[in-house]
Chain A
Amino acid sequence: MITIVFSLFLLTMLVIVAVGILRTDNLFTAVMLSGIFSLIMAANFFILDAADVALTEAVIGAGISTVLFLGALALTAEYDRSPPVGTWVPLLTSSALGGVIIFATLQAPRLGDPNAVVHKHVAPWYLDRTPELIDVPNVVTAVLASFRGYDTLGEVFVVFIACIGVMSLLGRVRPRRDSIEEDEFDKRTDNLRHHLIPRVVGKMLVPFIVLFGLYVQFHGDFGPGGGFQAGALIAAGVILYSLLEGGPRGRELVPEWFSSLLVALGAFTYTCVGVVSMAMGGRFLDYSVLSHDPVHGQHMGILIIEAGVGMTVTGVMITIFHAFSRRGIR
């Protein structure tokens, strides 16, 4: 009941904000509103009992997405100058799609129906067998890292390839002098060094953000968290530092070779665990053989591959941010 009340509030707000995004012709406004959109989305995920997803959306939406979009806006344009073309074709298409979907959902099981098909299929098996086979409290982590480890490997490689794409599109401009004199810094506008309050508070928070990222990384077996969220959090810490001190300083803190190395190393670690478990007589990504005790082997495997995921995501987010910020100062 309470869930439904909150959902009504949040979902209606979601639609209103989406309409607002659609109607504005100022891209800056659209980016700000999509920040609100992602916040509502995260609260909604939390209400629907998806704590891990809510954490991911929160970290990505608040820490990374806005910064990336603003970086892109700074490099392109601030206004949407779409001509007022005949809008009835897209209107017709999208309302036809919406009509079909609404018609289809009339037969769907209501929210929270325990007899829905999704709850009868493989999910009970995961929930029943996780304590026995893997023995970590967070079933989401167990499914993510062990039961559906192939999926996650694929996702890690998608992120990896996206990062390569960004690097080949934006990166590797002839590196200008990255070591910049102290007084030259004061003339630049791509940092917040003149703003003492953000600088002091922000730099104070950077270690806490990274520390919390590590907590989320290694506490992921017991609470909401894991490699994906931790990676985004640590990257958010580095991004905060780069915003405060300027791009070059950020690249001194985490050099580009290091973040690219992290990207590759994470994916490599993940694959290696699979290959090692094959070499030790199991199947690909079957961690049970990693140790004499199958459950202990699962623990080890999950720990290592989560670390791999965390490394890759951290590296990807930092590399993407550096690519955009470096482009800005050409």
Chain B
Amino acid sequence: MDLLLDIASAILLLTGGFFVFVGGFGVMRMPEFFTRMHAASLTDTGGAALILLGLMLQGGLTLVPFKLAAIFLFLFLTSPTASYALANAALLSGVSTACRNETGAPLPENEVDSADSKPASKSVAKTSASRTSGRKTTAKQAAEQAAPKAAARKASKKAAKKPAGKAAKKPARKAAKKAAGKPAGKKS
């Protein structure tokens, strides 16, 4: 019986750990703020529920499972509330939603929103060299780096319409800055 409980809670704990990790991974990899929030808030409840359930099985007949249940209940209430508050604050100060179709590819007119975020560190550039986050690098930089596969494809596409895009870039960027209340590129 003990062994069964152990196995069950081990499975729950490890799955929970995996879920939590996937959430963190999503927060790293998702292309823009609202999708990142989606990744974080989903696993906040899912992964946390699994881990706390796994711990509950180990608690035995003491006060411990009740405390864990209380933690779960409060997380279950507060985490979506925090997500709501955060999304609301972001909407209030006008964070733009960069991708609107289900492939996650940015729409052309929105590319300029984030065009000024330069690939600051190599790791960022590396992780962003993929389908979703080609927008992290400007067209020129992406082309220079000869980023692999999809990003390169997109870069070449971007490069084709660069002259037109460049002219429109500056004012649009300023507007985006104003809306976000803070130059987005500075530290990224």
Contacts and interface: CB of A to CB of B under 8 A. Distances in A.
A201 B88 contact: no
Interface stretch (A9-17, A50-58, A202-210, A276-284): A202-210
Given A201-B77, A204-B77, A26 B84 contact: no
Contacts of B186: 25-26
B81 A24 contact: no
Contact of A198 (B85, B182, B187): B85
Contacts of A208: 74
A197 B77 CA distance: 10
A29 B88 CA distance: 18
Nearest to A20: B187
B187 A23 contact: yes
Interface in A179-223: 192, 195, 197-198, 201-202, 204-205, 208
B74 A195 contact: no
Contacts of B85: 192, 195, 198
A205 B77 contact: yes
Nearest to B80: A197
Interface residues on B, range: 10 to 19
A101 B34 CA distance: 45
The DSSP consensus for interface residues of chain A is helix
Interface residues of A, number: 15
A197 B84 contact: yes
Contacts of A25: 186
Contacts of A195: 84-85, 88
Interface in B161-188: 182, 186-187
Nearest to A79: B182
26 contacts: A23-B187, A24-B187, A25-B186, A26-B182, A26-B186, A28-B182, A29-B187, A192-B85, A195-B84, A195-B85, A195-B88, A197-B80, A197-B81, A197-B84, A198-B81, A198-B84, A198-B85, A201-B77, A201-B78, A201-B81, A202-B81, A204-B77, A205-B74, A205-B77, A205-B78, A208-B74
9 cross-chain pairs, A with B, having the tightest CB-CB distances, nearest first: A201-B81, A197-B84, A201-B77, A198-B81, A198-B85, A197-B81, A26-B182, A24-B187, A195-B88
